[in-house]
Amino acid sequence: MNKFIGSILLSLVVFAVGGQAKIVTKAVGYEHAGVKLEGWLAYDDSTTGQHPGVLVIHEWWGLNDFAKGKAEELAKLGYVAFALDMYGKGVSTEDPKKAGEFAGQFYGKPLMAERARAGLDQLLATGLVAKDKVAAIGFCFGGSTCQALVYSGAPVAGMVSFHGSLIPAPAGASHQAKILMLHGEADTFISAEQIAAFKQSMKDGGFDSEWVGYPGAVHAFTNPEATRIGKEHGMNIAYNEPAAKASWIKMQEFFRTLFGK
pLDDT tens, residue by residue, 96-148:
999 999 999 999 999 999 999 999 999 999 999 999 999 999 999 999 999 99
Q: What is the mean pLDDT of residues 81-97?
A: 98
Is there a domain that residue 83 lies in?
yes
CATH code assigned at 137 = 3.40.50.1820
Q: What is the separation of C-alpha 224 from the centre of its chain, rounded to a whole number of angstroms?
A: 15
- The pLDDT assigned to 20 comes to 63
Is there a domain that residue 3 lies in?
no
5 pLDDT higher than 60: no
- The pLDDT assigned to 260 comes to 86
Is there a domain that residue 12 lies in?
no
pTM score, whole prediction = 0.92
178 Cβ neighbours under 8 A, 6+ residues apart: 157, 158, 159, 208, 209, 254, 258
- The pLDDT assigned to 10 comes to 36
Q: What is the mean pLDDT of residues 171-187?
A: 97
pLDDT tens, 198-255? 999 999 999 999 999 999 999 999 999 999 999 999 999 999 999 999 999 999 999 9
Is there a domain that residue 4 lies in?
no
* Least confident window among 3-7, 65-69, 158-162: 3-7
Is there a domain that residue 47 lies in?
yes
6 pLDDT higher than 50: no
pLDDT tens, 7-35? 434 333 333 444 567 999 999 999 999 99
- The pLDDT assigned to 16 comes to 41
Looking at the 3D structure of the chain, how many domains does it have?
1
Is there a domain that residue 5 lies in?
no
- The pLDDT assigned to 252 comes to 98
188 pLDDT higher than 90: yes
Is there a domain that residue 56 lies in?
yes
Q: Please name which of 198, 179, 176 lies closest in space to residue 250, comparing C-alpha atoms.
A: 179
Is there a domain that residue 10 lies in?
no
Determine the structural domain holding residue 178 and report its residue range.
Answer: 19-259
